[in-house]
Structure 1
Amino acid sequence: MVKHLRRFRGDGFTLVELLVVVAIIAILIALLLPAVQAARESSRKSDCANNLKNLALAALSFESSRGYFAPAAQDRDGEPPTGVKPALATHNGITFLLPHFDQGNKLQQIDLSWDWDDAARSKNELATKQDLGGILICPSSPVVQIARHATDYCAANRVDPAGPRSLAPLVTTRLVDGKNGLPELDRGWDNVLQFDFLDTVPPLATDRRRTDCSEITDGLSNTSLYMESVAKPFMFGWYQRTADPAPLFYNGEENRSINSRFRWASPETWMTINNYCHGSQIINCNNVSQPYGFHPGGILVSFADGHVEFAREEIDPNAFVAWITMSGGETAP
């Protein structure tokens, strides 16, 4: 008996159907990916804001217990004789805040009578070149900073309205209020976090001012404390590494003997608002001691009442300056 073979049509996809399905999946992924990335950035931004909030609350806790704010940093010119304690040891203000955000054990390892990087008479160099558990690192930064003992958050001690590198052109064009010709060194340009400086080289000069909440006449919610200046020791923006006589990098390799000024405990990790780009933009021009971040379109700023705000790149320069000054008399932005 002859058996007739029956031909059956398979249940699989044809090539055209398969290509259509692949195309649909690709479109769905393309639509979903930005949403996933946005969600991740939102989470990173939230973590960064929480870091800054904790830093601001630590600053307020210090002020409450001591009666004055810790400085942005304390530094000096001149060295004492060998073995003699300096009249003012060099430290970043963040060091003084350590016990106020659960880092008191780190402060106990630091002898505040000696400089932050002293290795001869104390263990300061070892103690200040330690990871603080990421509390000073913004998760949105593309550069891993923990191993470099850096901070993505800095204090801005004042606004510089005059001089060769300053906001003078913005004052001239009235994009920044000149406060009726208020002198450059007037306290009206100061932030609450001061630069505590002592010059022991004749002619002697000092600025040992201590400020408290009562001096913030512009309002606690209108006066900044710490803000983003991220990703150091790497430099972003217009900064030219090759122009430095002691460059931070040699043939792409980091020169860690030079980058110390960017560590969280360094007395040079602070900034003065004295730079702008693109006509009047103060934020995200460069991160060499200037406001700079990696969140799309702006940076996070903490304030003297403990809240944190997102400052967009296009913020009015006068509004941003008003945030920095604590008694400038500006109208709240």
Structure 2
Amino acid sequence: MPAQTWTYLRVKQVHSISGSLVGRVNQWLSLTPSKAFSLVELLVVVAIISLLMALLLPAIQRVREAANRVRCANNLRQLGVGLHNFHDQFGRFPTANSYHPADDPKKPTFTSAFTRLLPYVEQDALERGYDYTQRPDADPPNKTIGEQPIGVFRCPSMIPPPTPQAFPGWSSYAVSIGTKRGFGTGYFSDPDDGVFVRHIPGWGQSQGTNIADILDGTSQTIFAGEMGFQLKDYYFTTGPYAGLLRGGNTQWVWGYASYSFGSSEMMFNTVQPNPSDPSDKIKRLQSFRSDHVGGAQFLFGDSTVRFLRPSMSLSLYQALTTRAGGEVIGNLP
């Protein structure tokens, strides 16, 4: 028998057998009654899925928070690089705020250090359009510029303000002015001052510090840290502004305490001020705070970022914020 004829017969035979098997299977399936899930079985399946979700969700949240902390640290490092590039160009760091000589003392400009830093964090166009002779809320152009959301100024873990339309330019970071209160006087020669000094006639210094002024060493001096937005005890409760924040509203463009610079007068992440001390609310208003669990991230002068915990002593924390205090730091916890 020719090979081609034999192959044809074998294929035909296999096809016939497979067709017969398929027919029998279909016949068997048609005779087998279908069985639906009972209510109890369905509830068991739902319970198992819920249990798995309950077990997986915390793990997913931990992974997400870990990723957010990495992104937040990268933001602070970018700010550190920008600050040093600014120093390389001008020989000094920017002041915590900028006061224009032609200002009305009752309505000063108070532009922030972050505004000066815009060209060094890839925001050249915004800085070129900014008018330093006008207040940050002058429109145009400053108000529009100051309302721009800038990613490097925002921590991904930070809870946005409850009324973001009122504070579209909200931010998550602040430069350090040391242990002194931002609303009082601060002098360039005070060893308790931080790296960033205030530029206010009669209050502060007209120019920023340089590397040589940081006698404590850049690796042991905090340059900036996290400053979260929400302080619930600083909301207006009555009147036309009810529900809006009256303080603690961090905004990158404004050179005010609690807006873009903070101090170590109170331990960071303090939840509740001392009710017996009226000044504690002011201290807390300009204290550093974070939405990360267990602590806050700080940028040091050598551009390293460290996660500090509020269980550390206040004296050690304050020593890290002075630029020339001469304190012995030792190993950080």
* TM-score, normalising length: structure 1: 0.72
Question: Residue 99 in 1 paired to residue 102 in 2?
Answer: no
Distance 1:184 1:113, change over 3 A: closer
Distance 1:230 1:295, change over 3 A: same
Distance 1:16 1:116, change over 3 A: closer
Partner of 1:137: 154
Question: Residue 306 in 1 paired to residue 283 in 2?
Answer: no
**Structure 1 CA distance for aligned equivalents of residues 296 and 150 of structure 2:** 22
Partner of 2:65: 41
Question: Residue 264 in 1 paired to residue 252 in 2?
Answer: yes
Render the CA deviation track for 1:164-197: whole Å, top value 9, x for unaligned.
x9xxxxxxxxxxxxxxxxx998621011111111
Partner of 1:317: 314
RCO comparison, higher one (Cα < 8 Å, 6+): 1
Distance 1:130 1:207, change over 3 A: same
8 Å Cα contact 1:74-1:93 kept in structure 2:
yes
Matched letter for residue 198 of structure 1:
P
**2:168 aligned residue (148, 155, 160):** 148
Partner of 2:89: 65
Among the aligned pairs, what percent are the same residue? 26
8 Å Cα contact 2:94-2:207 kept in structure 1:
no
**Structure 1 CA distance for aligned equivalents of residues 268 and 303 of structure 2:** 23
**1:65-84 matches, cutoff 5 A:** 65-75=89-99, 79-80=103-104
Partner of 2:21: none
Partner of 2:271: 285
Distance 1:292 1:189, change over 3 A: same
Work out which of the two has the higher radius of gyration on C-alpha atoms and give 1 or 2: 2
**Structure 1 CA distance for aligned equivalents of residues 131 and 190 of structure 2:** 31
**1:230 aligned residue (205, 228, 231):** 228
Matched letter for residue 99 of structure 1:
P
Partner of 2:12: none
Question: Residue 110 in 1 paired to residue 130 in 2?
Answer: yes
Matched position secondary structure for 1:28: helix
- Equivalences, count: 279
* Superposed displacement of residue 12, structure 1: 5.8
**Structure 1 CA distance for aligned equivalents of residues 126 and 271 of structure 2:** 33
Matched position secondary structure for 1:187: coil
Matched letter for residue 310 of structure 2:
E
Question: Residue 56 in 1 paired to residue 94 in 2?
Answer: no
Higher fraction of helix: 2
8 Å Cα contact 1:59-1:97 kept in structure 2:
yes
**Structure 2 CA distance for aligned equivalents of residues 106 and 185 of structure 1:** 30
* Superposed displacement of residue 264, structure 1: 1.5
8 Å Cα contact 2:172-2:227 kept in structure 1:
yes
**1:4-43 matches, cutoff 5 A:** 17-43=41-67
8 Å Cα contact 2:131-2:141 kept in structure 1:
yes
Unpaired stretches in structure 1, ≥5 consecutive residues: 1-6, 166-182, 200-204, 276-280
- The Cα RMSD (Å) is 3.5
Render the CA deviation track for 1:71-98: whole Å, top value 9, x for unaligned.
11124799459xxxx9x85311111111
* TM-score, normalising length: structure 2: 0.72
Q: 150-159 or 19-28, which moves further after superposition?
A: 19-28
**Structure 2 CA distance for aligned equivalents of residues 209 and 125 of structure 1:** 23
Partner of 1:157: 177
Matched letter for residue 194 of structure 2:
N
Distance 1:142 1:89, change over 3 A: closer
**Structure 2 CA distance for aligned equivalents of residues 192 and 229 of structure 1:** 17
